[in-house]
């Protein structure tokens, strides 16, 4: 049995059940807030930011003054990672396959956005 059973143990959650329609959590983990965002977006925020934060801190040990390259930067996790990396004091480089989305990268704090074009998987099909 896994040391930390749950849907996504690699994210180091101390309390599981975040994928349920209804859940029960310790009151100390509930933070009231106001937002104009729709609930489906609000529900996704912890997943995106926990994934990015865990990767940057626990996995990479990102420190102020370091440089980070984010591939797939316009994904929700990529944008979250860029925002957090800037808050941690890193220089952020990030890629997107859509040149018209470079502004989104800049808005998220990316210092050096770049567009790349990945080869199509069908190009290599037999």
Is 102 within a domain? Answer: yes
Is 29 within a domain? Answer: no
Is 35 within a domain? Answer: no
State mean pLDDT over 91-99. 93
Q: What CATH number has the domain bearing residue 91?
A: 3.40.50.720
The whole-number pLDDT of residue 37 equals 87
Q: Residue 7 contacts by C-beta under 8 Å, 6 or more apart in sequence?
A: 16, 18, 19
Using one digit for the tens of pLDDT, what is the confidence trace for 18-75? 566 677 778 888 788 888 988 888 878 888 898 999 999 999 999 999 999 999 999 9
The whole-number pLDDT of residue 119 equals 58
Instruction: Name the residue range of residue 77's domain.
Output: 63-117
- Cα–chain-centroid distance for residue 46? 9
| Nearest-angstrom CA–CA distance, 89 and 72 | 21
Q: What does the angle CA 81 – CA 98 – CA 94 come to, to the nearest 5 degrees?
A: 30
- Cα–chain-centroid distance for residue 64? 18
pLDDT at 82 over 90: yes
């Amino acid at each position: 049995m896994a040391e930390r059973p749950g849907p996504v143990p690699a994210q180091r959650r101390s309390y599981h059940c975040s994928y349920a329609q209804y859940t029960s959590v310790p009151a100390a983990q509930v933070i009231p807030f106001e937002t104009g965002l729709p609930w489906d977006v609000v529900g996704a925020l912890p997943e995106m930011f926990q994934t990015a934060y865990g990767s940057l801190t626990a996995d990479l040990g990102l420190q102020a003054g370091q440089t980070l390259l984010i591939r797939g930067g316009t994904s929700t996790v990529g944008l979250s990672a860029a925002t957090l990396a800037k808050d941690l004091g890193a220089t952020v480089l990030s890629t997107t396959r859509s040149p018209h989305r470079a502004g989104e990268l800049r808005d998220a704090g990316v210092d050096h956005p770049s567009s790349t074009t990945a080869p199509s998987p069908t190009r290599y099909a037999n």
